[in-house]
Chain A
Amino acid sequence: MNYQLNHLKELEAESIFVLREVAAQFENPVLMFSGGKDSILMSYLASKAFYPAKVPFPLLHVDTGHNFPETIEFRDNWVKRIGAKLIVGSVDKAIETGMVREEQGANASRNGLQTAVLLDELEKGKFDAALGGARRDEEKARAKERFFSHRDEFGQWDPKNQRPELWNLFNGKKHFGEHFRVFPISNWTEMDVWMYLAMEKVELPNLYYAHERDVFERDGILLANTDYIQKKPGEKIVRKKVRCRTIGDMTCTGVWESEADTIDKIITEVSTTRVTERGGRTDDKRSETSMEDRKKKGYF
């Protein structure tokens, strides 16, 4: 008998441990669900962690109003399937009520507005832990993120004042009004996520698989054609076979030319690709430290 787990099973065991730790240490956790593969993985692992009981916390989706329609459809089916409660925070409403103001111009994005709505929802729900599907391999500011990441009463991240994490010991202690961001899949890479989803045969939104779509090029990145983006002069719509490597807003999620229409083909594609998955995210390209700056303000 071999008592060595394979790497996916070991990652799974670690994530399940962290998810259970959250349920045990916090009074009112919530799982941030974007509809992307990482939050699908995280909620799938949560349904494993508490089996045969239901996931003991709700899912929170911040709807920017600029989502791919496929994302919303998938979200509603998925929530039904895993039997979780869904809370939706709406950026549209926040704009209507004047809580946030919409960016203008061709490069306008609602990415920054998400943060305000997220913090508002966390406050309204009195959540003391928000589970996120961020991974350390995604971006260099995330390479130093803890599993249990402490946020002050303004939801801010202080990279210089992080609690050391050793062994299996996670310190979730906090003062009234503070909360934690918890990242159960910190140690997974993009490749691990795909391998695991394939191994477990987990259902995914169609956007991840190659499909025909109207797209246009901007700054070397292909974007899906949508009314949410103002076209600049000279930007031409073409039809291409593409897929998403990450799913975010239609305004900032690049699509890739691809023939990968099955999960096995995606794994082959990911294993040979030479550009990081966030390479297609225009929100990361605003400056070299844009992720770090956004995280300090409360982005996840």
Chain B
Amino acid sequence: MTQQEYENMELLRFTTAGSVDDGKSTLIGRLLYDSKSIFEDQYEQVKKTSERRGEEGVNLALLTDGLKSEREQGITIDVAYRYFSTPKRKFIIGDTPGHIQYTRNMVTGASTANVALVLIDARNGVVEQTRRHAIIASLLQIPHLVVCVNKMDLVDYKEDAYEKIKDEFSNWASKLDVKDVSFIPMSALAGDNVVDQSVNMPWYKGSTLLYYLENVHIGSDHNLIDVRFPVQYVIRPYNDEFHDYRGYSGRVAGGIMKKGDKVTVLPSGFTSTIAKIDTFDGELEEAHAPMSVTVLLEDDIDISRGDMIVRENNQPEVSQDIEVMISWFHEKPMQPRGKYTIMHTTREARCVIKEINYKLDINTLHRNLEDQEIRMNDIARVTLRTTVPLFADPYRRNRITGSIILIDEGTNETVGAGMII
């Protein structure tokens, strides 16, 4: 591979969710194997384990099961990250288990994904778990959803079996908030339409899964409209060469920042002009999400971590009352009127659960107004009141400035994650 080639590669993150039975591990194994991302020693180890257990053939699922306890129980209990690449793109797979008790893992894996793969067993059609995965993908605003109609070999590669599932899913999904849905009929076990075009389904004219993953347009997955720069760290070198240097470093969370732009700093409301966008590799004319840069302003204003640099005429909502859809992670249920630490961008505050509006049934989208107990793996709409104002955008508009986590003040554990409405 030449330098020019790998300097043109892009990064795509996708998430898979599924149970042991719908062929998810086989699908990932197939992608890794057919794209030649499995090494001999990994393969040998899995082969040895399969033999020792008296299993027929090589169990590719073992490649994706990481921890000892999981291998013993034959289940995946956490998010595991896998990597493979083709000359066009590098892929990060957030591999999560699909059972209802692992909703929190699915939410975690989905939070940074560009693409969600939802697996359907062609024999069973759309089942509860399919709906759950699609609902989570929609709540987490994964920009692209691919419905993989798997095990086509077990329905004799029949077009009408595929079409029926496609219709059923499309009708149901019309009430979801997903922008881009695609369907691919495949057999992960036999290799149809995963990496290579299937000869068994000549009626299917679309792309294979790998072709889709290599080519789906992800250029507009980041918000390039609303300038949002949460200040992460203040750089002050304190040496002779950079005596008066005061740089605000951070990762652009939205929009395109340009040298010379008039900006407003929140919460103070002071205005200034971008004097310089600096990096180790030299000055930049402009910066966009998700770049990590250092911004210098014309005026000497007091700015610290947790402040946000925005454009004068395009500002987030500055508020202490935040409405969120929250996914609960912890065995200890959410405490009504409970107080938690809240992290939002680089800003931190305390908050109180003011009101639980409803609990969402993640299999049916039904809103339960009565049940006020929010337990692990539940998703609910709640109102929070924070000790200081947050600079918030709706999650639909920006996944970075629209997301929060809640931390238990006693144990320091992350107990919930929320999407701002």
Contact = CB atoms under 8 A, between A and B. Distances in A.
A77 to B, nearest CB: 20
Contact of A276 (B39, B79, B245, B281): B39
A160 B41 CA distance: 27
Contacts of B224: 3
Contact of A13 (B7, B85, B292, B407): B292
A266 B373 CA distance: 57
Interface in B1-36: 1, 3, 6-11
Interface residues of A, number: 67
Nearest to B63: A140
A187 to B, nearest CB: 6
Interface string B65-102: 11111000000011111110100011010000000000
Contact of A164 (B82, B85, B108): B108
Which interface class (under 10, 10 to 19, 20 to 34, 35 or more) fits B?
Answer: 35 or more
B7 A8 contact: yes
Contacts of B89: 7
Interface stretch (A42-50, A63-71, A92-100, A229-237): A42-50
A171 B90 contact: no
20 contacts: A5-B10, A5-B290, A11-B11, A20-B249, A47-B280, A53-B237, A53-B242, A137-B82, A143-B66, A144-B79, A144-B80, A159-B67, A160-B77, A164-B108, A166-B405, A167-B400, A171-B407, A171-B414, A275-B39, A292-B68
A108 to B, nearest CB: 24
Interface string A1-12: 011111111111
Interface stretch (B146-154, B189-197, B228-236): B228-236
A11 to B, nearest CB: 7
A162 interface: yes
A219 interface: no
A271 B280 CA distance: 29
Contact of B67 (A144, A175, A187, A192): A144
Nearest to A21: B232
User: Which of B11, B49, B82 counts the most chain A CB atoms within 10 A?
Assistant: B11
Nearest to A13: B292
A88 B404 CA distance: 40
A267 B1 contact: yes
B235 A50 contact: yes
Given A173-B341, A279-B39, A167 B291 contact: no
Interface of A: 2-14, 16-17, 20-21, 23-24, 47-54, 136-137, 140-141, 143-144, 159-160, 162-169, 171, 173-175, 186-187, 189, 191-192, 195, 198-199, 264, 267-268, 271, 273-276, 279, 288-289, 292
Given A136-B83, A279-B39, A7 B10 contact: yes
A7 B412 contact: no
B412 A174 contact: yes
A48 B400 CA distance: 23
A8 B108 CA distance: 23
Given A167-B400, A276-B39, A289-B68, A52 B235 contact: yes
Interface of B: 1, 3, 6-11, 39-42, 45, 49, 65-69, 77-83, 85, 89-90, 92, 104-105, 107-108, 111-112, 218-219, 222, 224, 232-233, 235-238, 241-242, 245, 249-251, 253, 256, 278-281, 288, 290-292, 294, 305, 329, 341, 343-346, 399-400, 403-405, 407, 412-414, 417
Give me the 9 closest cross-chain CB pairs, A-B, nearest first. A48-B280, A173-B412, A166-B111, A7-B11, A51-B280, A53-B237, A16-B292, A279-B41, A13-B292
B218 A48 contact: no
Contact of B291 (A13, A268, A289): A13
A169 B343 contact: yes
A16 B250 CA distance: 9
Nearest to A22: B233
A272 B8 CA distance: 20
Given A166-B403, A171-B343, A173-B341, A271 B414 contact: no
User: Which of B233, B291, B399, B417 counts the most chain A CB atoms within 10 A?
Assistant: B233
Contacts of A273: 39
A166 B292 contact: no
A160 B69 contact: yes
B305 A199 contact: no
Given A162-B78, A167-B111, A274-B40, 14 more contacts: A7-B9, A23-B233, A49-B249, A51-B278, A51-B279, A53-B238, A140-B66, A141-B67, A144-B67, A164-B108, A174-B412, A175-B412, A189-B90, A288-B45
Nearest to B288: A3
Contacts of B81: 136, 143-144, 186-187
